[in-house]
Structure 1
C-alpha cells in the first residue's frame, strides 16, 4: 500500500526527532520512578536503561534494514499475513492511542498543578490537543522542521538549567553508591528503557519516509540521538539526586520541576521555573505529536484510507476524552506506570519486533532488501 504521507525527511531531521522524542515526558516523570526503585542509585539504573535502550534501538534498526519501505503495519502484514498482521497492527494502534492520551494527561496535569490551578483541566487539554492536531495535519515534513526550530531553544534552556543549578550540588546525596543492589538497579534500568526507548517502536510510522544519500549514517544518527536523549534524562536524574536528595525525588510527581524551583543566583535571579518549563513543553509537544501521528497513520493504513487527515478530528476527540479518564488518580497512575506498563511495553516494543525480525530473517527478507539497494 502506498504511503499515506508523501513527506520526506533526512537523516539530520530524524536525529532531532528521535532526540526530542526520547527526552519527551521521560525527563518529567522518570527521575521519581527511578528513585522509588533504586533510591540514590537511580542514575545507575538510568545508565543500565541506556544500555538496554541501545539494544532496543539496534533491534529496530535491523527491522528497518529488513523492511526499509514499510511501516510497522506493513511489516506485520508482510510477515504474518493479512489477518494476523491486522490483529497485531490493531494492538500497535491501540497502544499508540493509549500513549497519546497518557502523555496528554501528563502535560495537562503538569500545567494545572503548577501554572493553571483554577483552569478546568479539559480546557488546557483541548488547547494543547489543537496544536498537536495542527502539526499532524500539516504532515511529517512540518513536524520535522518544527523540531529543528525547537532544538536550539531546548539546548539553550537545558544549558541554563545545568549552569544555574551547579552551585547547589551536594554529592553526598548520592552516597552510598550501589546500596540498592543489583536487582533494583536492573529493574530501574528496565523501567527507564521502557519509558524512553521501547516506545520508539512507533518510529516505524516515519522510517519509510527517511531519505538520505547515506542511509547508514542516518541509522547511526538514530543511535546517537537516542543515546544523547538518554544521557540528558540521566543527568537530570543525577541533578535531582544531588540537589533534592533521593527522598524528595521519590515523593515528587514532577521532580525535575521541583529541581528548577531551587534556582537562586545571589537571591536575585529566582522563580524562573515558568521560563524553563519551556524545556518540558518542547519535548512533550513533540512526543504527543509523534504518538498521535503514529496512531492516525497506522489506523488509516489498517482501514485502507488514502488520507490519514480525515481521522485527525475524530481521533483528537477520542484522545481528549480518554486523557480525562485514563488515570482516575495519582495512585492509579503510579500503579499503572510501575506494574502494568513495563510488561505491556516489553511485549509491544521487544517481543513483537523480535518475532517479526526472526520470521523475516528465516524468510530471507534481509537479503531481498539488501539486493534491492
Structure 2
C-alpha cells in the first residue's frame, strides 16, 4: 500500500469539486461580503450580487480552458510548460505568496468574529493557534477527506440557511428597498467591486484541484461548476435580500457581521430564539473549508515547485508563518475595511484573473498542450521494511549458495 495513498494522489468527483467551490465562496464572504456591498449599493446591494453572478462562471471558463490543455497538471506545473522553467517558478512563487496571505486573512476573519461576538475575553492568538491545529490535521488527511467533509458541511449548511431565512419571514419589510435604483445603475455597478476580488478571483485555488477529479467524471465537471456558480449567486443574493429586508440599510451597513446579527432577530412565539449560534456554526464550518483548501493548495504548489515527493512536510512549517501573519495583517477594524475595499480586489484579480488569462493566451499562441501525469510519485509505506526483507532474503540465499558450495558433491 502506498504511504500517501488517499493523501497525495487521491481522486474526487466533479460534484465534490463543485461543492468545495461553493463552500469556498461562502467561506468568510457569507458573513462579511453582504455588509460591504450594502455599504456601497445601499438597498440595491442585491442587484450587485446578481450582476456579479455571471463573473462566477466566466472566470471558471478560463480555468477550464487551461484544464482542457493540461488535464493532469496543476497551475504550478503547466506554468513551467508554457513560460519556461524559471518563468513558471516565478509565477508559482507569486501564487505561493498569494495563498499565504489569503490563509492569514481567512484565519484573522475567524478570530475577529469569535473575539467580537462569541469569545470576547479569549486572546486572538489562542483562537488562531487552536483553529490552526484542526486545519493542519485536515490538510494532512488529504483532499479526499476534505471533499467528504465538504459534502457533510454542504448539506448541513444549506439546511441551516433555509431554516434561518424561513424564520425571518415575519420580520421582512419591503419598504426597506425603497427607493429602487435611487441613483440609477451606478451604485449597483460600484457594489460589484468588492465581489470581484472577494471571493470570485480567489477561485484560482480550483486549478490545483482540477487534476484530482476522476478522469471518467471530468465530462460532468463543466456542468457541475455551472450549477455551483448559479448556487453561489442565488444564495448570496438571497442573503443580501433578507439582510436589507430585515435589518434595513443603515443597520446592515454598520454591523461588521450583519448576517450573524440578523439571526439574532429570530423570535417565533418566544420559543425559537437565540438561534444565531447556528449561523456561527455554519460560518465557522465554511471558513474551515476555505482555510483548509488555501493551506492545502499552498503546500501542494510549493511541493510541486520544489519537485518534492509529497506536500506533507510543508504543512506544519507553513502554519508557523500563517498564525503570526494573521495577527499582524490588520491593525484594527478600520484598517480591515480600507484593505478589503481598496487593495485586496486589485491584488486578487491580478492573481485570479489576469495571470491565468495570460498563461492561457500564451499557451494558445504557442500551441502548448500536455497530457502527462503531474501527480506525486507513490511512496510505499513499508518500503524500508521491504528493503530489509529483500536484503535478508538475498543474504540468506547467498549463505545457502556458499553452504552448498562447501558440501561435497555426491559420488
TM-score (norm 2): 0.86
CA offsets 1:75-124 (integer angstroms, 9 cap, x no match):
21111111111111111111101110100100111011111111111111
RMSD (Å) for aligned C-alpha atoms: 1.7
Q: Is the 8 A contact 1:22 1:226 kept in 2?
A: no
Unaligned stretches of 5+ residues in structure 2: 1-5, 373-411
Query: 1:22 Cα deviation (Å)?
Result: 1.4
Task: Determine if the alignment matches structure 1 residue 76 to structure 2 residue 79.
Answer: yes
Distance 1:77 1:229, change over 3 A: same
CA offsets 1:264-303 (integer angstroms, 9 cap, x no match):
1112321111133122011111001111111111111122
* Equivalent position of 2:220 in the other structure: 217
Task: Determine if the alignment matches structure 1 residue 21 to structure 2 residue 24.
Answer: yes
Where 1:275 maps in the other structure, the secondary structure is helix
CA distance in 2, matches of 1:115, 1:261: 13
Q: Is the 8 A contact 1:38 1:185 kept in 2?
A: yes
* Equivalent position of 1:313 in the other structure: 316
CA distance in 1, matches of 2:301, 2:350: 18
Q: Is the 8 A contact 1:157 1:278 kept in 2?
A: no
Aligned to 2:116, which of 100, 113, 117? 113
CA distance in 2, matches of 1:188, 1:366: 39
Q: Is the 8 A contact 1:18 1:225 kept in 2?
A: yes
Aligned to 2:264, which of 261, 266, 275? 261
CA offsets 1:12-55 (integer angstroms, 9 cap, x no match):
21121111111111111101110111111111011111122221
CA offsets 1:115-161 (integer angstroms, 9 cap, x no match):
11111111111111111111100001110111112222112111111
* Equivalent position of 2:342 in the other structure: 339
Where 1:181 maps in the other structure, the secondary structure is strand
TM-score (norm 1): 0.95
- Structure 1 runs of 4+ aligned residues shifted over 3 Å read 365-369
* Equivalent position of 1:125 in the other structure: 128
* Equivalent position of 1:38 in the other structure: 41
* Equivalent position of 2:407 in the other structure: none
Task: Determine if the alignment matches structure 1 residue 232 to structure 2 residue 230.
Answer: no
Aligned residues: 367
CA offsets 1:218-270 (integer angstroms, 9 cap, x no match):
22101211221232122111111111111111111111111111111112321
Distance 1:215 1:248, change over 3 A: same
Q: Is the 8 A contact 1:205 1:294 kept in 2?
A: yes
Aligned to 2:172, which of 158, 169, 188? 169
* Equivalent position of 2:15 in the other structure: 12
Aligned to 1:293, which of 287, 293, 296? 296
CA distance in 2, matches of 1:93, 1:182: 38
* Equivalent position of 2:326 in the other structure: 323
Where 1:118 maps in the other structure, the secondary structure is coil
Larger Rg: 2
* Equivalent position of 2:195 in the other structure: 192
CA distance in 2, matches of 1:120, 1:333: 19
CA distance in 2, matches of 1:106, 1:15: 24
* Equivalent position of 2:140 in the other structure: 137
Q: Is the 8 A contact 1:57 1:197 kept in 2?
A: no
